[in-house]
């Protein structure tokens, strides 16, 4: 008796199709920033096409800038990355 294993083992295309169906792309546009000076948290809206490089803390009024190597303040001080980085890493 000759058994075809292809009946039991999914093809590469079937695996890719299943993976793509399981992949969910949800971009978040709200973030919670943590001030590096006083530790206060504040909610912030993120724009899809604009990256914010500075923000002012509502508690201590410190002007916070993102470091040179960071994309923006959301990527550096936020709980989630900015929308463009979320898409890039998803």
Residue 24, pLDDT score: 44
Non-local CB neighbours of 15 within 8 Å, separated by 6+ positions = none
Residue 60, pLDDT score: 97
CA separation for the pair 58, 73 (Å, rounded): 15
The domain segmentation of the chain, as residue ranges, is 34-90
pLDDT in tens, 14-69: 766 566 555 546 888 999 999 999 999 999 999 877 778 999 999 999 999 999 88
What's the full length of the chain, in residues? 90
Non-local CB neighbours of 87 within 8 Å, separated by 6+ positions = 25, 27
């Amino acid at each position: 008796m000759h058994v075809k294993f292809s009946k039991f083992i999914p093809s590469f295309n079937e695996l890719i199709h299943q993976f793509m169906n399981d992949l969910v792309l949800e971009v978040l546009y709200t973030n919670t920033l943590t001030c590096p000076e006083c530790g206060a948290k504040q909610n912030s809206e993120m724009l899809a096409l604009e990256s914010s490089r500075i923000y002012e803390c509502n508690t201590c009024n410190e002007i916070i800038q993102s470091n040179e190597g960071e994309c923006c303040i959301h990527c550096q001080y936020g709980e989630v990355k900015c929308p463009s980085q979320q898409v890039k890493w998803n």
